[in-house]
Structure 1
Amino acid sequence: MARPVVGRDREGQILEAALRSGAHVVLEGPPGTGKSTLLRDVAARRASPFVLVEGNAELTPARLVGHFDPALVLARGYTPDVFVDGPLLEALRAGGLLYVEELNRVPEETLNVLLTVMSEGEIAVPRLGHVKASDGFRLVAAMNPYDAVGTARISGALYDRTCRITMGYQDLASECEIVAQQRPGTPDAWRRAAVGMVRATREHRDLRMGSSVRGALDFVGLTRELAALRGVPDDDWQSGLDAALVALSGRVRLDEGCNRAVEDVVTELYVAAFGPRPTGPDDDPSGGGDPGKR
C-alpha cells in the first residue's frame, strides 16, 4: 500500500482490511493523531463517497437521518421526492463511508439509530419506508477517550458492532516529517528541537494533557512569522519563546493540584529545548544556531 499518512502504515492497512471485511470501525486516540486524515486517504483510494458528520449534542436523529421539507409537504404531501436526505441516508444510498467525528459527544438517542443501521444494514423512516444500505456502506467513528468535558460513555452495544483501532502519537521522526512537509524551510536542528519540546509536554510532571503535533506546526509557523515581523533571524530566541507560549499554553492542561501558571511550564520546556536566553557579549543575540550545541 502507498504510504497514506506519515507514520500510519500499520493503522492504514488495518483500517482498509476492516472495511474490506465489512466491519464498522471506531478510531480512538487523542487529538492530532491523524484519524481524519487517515480515513480520508483510505476513502480516496477506495473511490468511496465520504460523508462527514460532526458529533455534538445538536446531532439529533432527524438531523442525522433527514426530514421532509415542510413547504413541499403542504404542496405535495409525504412523497419520497420531498424528503431531504441527512448524512446517514446519503451514505446509505451511495454505499459510502459515514464518518462520525467526536462519537462520544453524540446523544444516546442518535447513537441508537446508528446501532440499528449497523445491525440490520437498513433503516425504517416514518412515511418514507425502508432504506437499505448499498454495497460499500460503512460507518467509521472517531473519538478522543481522554476528554471528559461534554462527552458520554459509549455503550457496550456500540462496541459490540464495531472494530476498534487505537491511534497514539507518532514517533519523533514521523512528527518531524509532518512539520517538515507543512512548514518547509525550517532548519533541521531547530525543527527537531521544536518537535521534541512539544512531545515533552505529554510527559511533563505538571501537565495532565500535552499537545499534539498541531502545536508544533503552529509553534514553528508563528516563530518564523514573528521573526520576519521583527527583522530578526528565523531562530530568534525571544520570538521562539513568544510563539511557544501562544501556540501551546491553550493546548496543554495543568495537572490537578499544580500551582504553577501554564506559561511557566511552557517556558521551562522551551529553555530545556533551546537553552537559556543569550546574555553574554559573545552569544548570538538571536539565540540561533544548532540547539543541540548549546
Structure 2
Amino acid sequence: MNQHELVDHLTAHVVGRRREIDLVVAALAADRHMLLEGPPGTGKSTLLRAIARELGIGFEFVEGNAELTPARLVGHFDPARVLADGYDPDVFVDGPLVAALRSGSLLYVEELNRVPEETLNVLVSVMSEHEITVPRLGTVAAEPGFRLVAAMNPFDAIGTARISSAIYDRVCRLAVGYQDAADETAITLRHQPGADGAWAEKTVELMRLTRGHPDVRIGSSVRGSIDMCAVAASLGEVRSLPADDPAVSLDAALVALSGRIRVREGCHREPEEIITELWKQVFTAPPDELDDAGKAPAPNGARPAG
C-alpha cells in the first residue's frame, strides 16, 4: 500500500495520533532514523509497533537499561561452540542489532536514555555507516529497510541520562505528549470494553488531575485509568457491589494510581492521601446549593448559633 493508504489504515487502529502517524511514516519512508520523546504511557511503542506491523517489516525490540552492554546489543560467539569449532561465523549468536541489520528490520530501542554511553556509541557508528564491524566476525552491512526507531522519557525521569548531540544529530526527533481527554477515554474503553462510558470518563478525569496537582511531580499515564476500570470491575465482583460504588471506586483508584505518581521532593504527603483528595473531587456529589441568604444549609441536627 502507498503512504496515504498506510496512514489511513493506521488511524483506524491507533486512537488519535494522526499528526504523529503522518510524521513517523514520512520519516521512515525517507529512510531516516526516528526518536520519539515523551512521558511514559503516551503510546510511543504502540505507534511504532503498529507501523512496523502494517509495513510488513521486521521489528527487533531492545529494552533500554543499564545492563544493555555492547555485547548484548550486537551479539556474541557461543563460548561452548567456540571451544569445539573456533571463531566460525556460524558460532556467532546475533544480538538484536546484528539481526536487524541482516534482515533489514526496524531496531526499536525503548528507554534510549537509560542505555549506557558505551552502548550508545555503537549505535552512533551504525547510524552513520549503516554497517558494523565485529571482531573475528567481520563487517555486517545493513540490508535495505534497516532503521533505528527509539523512544525515551524526558531527561528528568528517574534513571535517565542526557543523550549526546551525536545521537540527536543522526535522528529525526518527535515530541509526543499526552492525548486529550476524549482520546484517553477511547483508549481506556478499548482496553476495558465492558466499562460504562460515563464511568470511564470519570476515571480519566481523575487520572488527568494527577498530572496537574501541585504536590505531584509526575502524574499517571492513561494506564492508570485502564487499570482502575479493570480493578473496579473485579473488586466489585469480590464485594458483590457495582464498580461505581464508593467503597469499590476509591480502593480501585488507590491501587491503580498511587504507585504511578511521584510526589514532589520536600512534600510530606503520601500518594494515597493525594489520590483520595482527587477521588473525592471527581466522584463525590457536589455540595448542596446555597440557600436564599447565600449560605450553605446547616447539616442535619446542627443548632443555630445564638
Deviations 1:118-157 (A, max 9, x none): 0001011111111100000000111101544222210000
Paired position in structure 2 for 1:83? 92
| Deviation of the 1:57 alpha carbon | 1.1
Paired position in structure 1 for 2:189? 180
Paired position in structure 2 for 1:131? 140
Local SS of the residue matching 2:212: coil
**Residue 215 of structure 1 pairs with residue 216 of structure 2:** no
Local SS of the residue matching 2:174: strand
Amino acid at match of 2:274: V
Paired position in structure 1 for 2:235? 226
- 2:199 corresponds, among 184, 190, 201, to 190
Paired position in structure 2 for 1:35? 44
Local SS of the residue matching 1:201: helix
Local SS of the residue matching 1:154: coil
The separation in 2 between residues aligned to 1:221 and 1:277, in whole angstroms, is: 26
| Deviation of the 1:277 alpha carbon | 11
Paired position in structure 2 for 1:74? 83
Contact 1:219 1:244 survives alignment (8 Å): yes
- 1:268 corresponds, among 277, 289, 296, to 277
When residues 263 and 276 of structure 1 are mapped into structure 2, their CA distance, relative to the original with a 3 A threshold, is farther
| Deviation of the 1:22 alpha carbon | 1.0
Local SS of the residue matching 1:164: strand
Matching of residues 240-279 of structure 1 within 5 Å: 240-275=249-284
Local SS of the residue matching 1:198: helix
Paired position in structure 1 for 2:15? 6
Paired position in structure 1 for 2:3? none
| Deviation of the 1:7 alpha carbon | 1.3
The separation in 1 between residues aligned to 2:100 and 2:25, in whole angstroms, is: 18
* TM-score where L is the length of structure 1: 0.92
Unmatched 5+ residue regions in structure 2?
A: 1-7, 288-306
| Deviation of the 1:276 alpha carbon | 5.3
The separation in 2 between residues aligned to 1:148 and 1:253, in whole angstroms, is: 10
The separation in 1 between residues aligned to 2:136 and 2:14, in whole angstroms, is: 43
Unmatched 5+ residue regions in structure 1?
A: 279-294
Paired position in structure 2 for 1:62? 71
Paired position in structure 2 for 1:202? 211
The separation in 2 between residues aligned to 1:276 and 1:222, in whole angstroms, is: 22
- Superposition misfits of 4+ residues, deviation over 3 angstroms: none
| Deviation of the 1:175 alpha carbon | 0.6
| Deviation of the 1:229 alpha carbon | 0.8
Paired position in structure 2 for 1:155? 164
Amino acid at match of 1:64: L
The separation in 1 between residues aligned to 2:17 and 2:275, in whole angstroms, is: 29
| Deviation of the 1:168 alpha carbon | 0.5
Paired position in structure 1 for 2:112? 103
- RMSD, aligned α-carbons: 1.4
Identity of aligned residues (%): 61
Local SS of the residue matching 2:211: coil
Contact 1:98 1:137 survives alignment (8 Å): yes
Which shows bigger deviation, 20-29 or 143-152? 143-152
Amino acid at match of 1:254: V
Determine which structure has more spread, i.e. the larger CA radius of gyration.
2
The separation in 2 between residues aligned to 1:133 and 1:212, in whole angstroms, is: 36
Deviations 1:32-57 (A, max 9, x none): 10011100100011111000001111
* TM-score where L is the length of structure 2: 0.88
The separation in 2 between residues aligned to 1:81 and 1:132, in whole angstroms, is: 17
| Deviation of the 1:185 alpha carbon | 2.2
- 1:45 corresponds, among 28, 33, 54, to 54
Paired position in structure 2 for 1:283? none
Local SS of the residue matching 1:266: helix
**Residue 170 of structure 1 pairs with residue 186 of structure 2:** no
Amino acid at match of 2:108: Y
Deviations 1:166-201 (A, max 9, x none): 110111110110111111222221111111110111
When residues 277 and 33 of structure 1 are mapped into structure 2, their CA distance, relative to the original with a 3 A threshold, is same
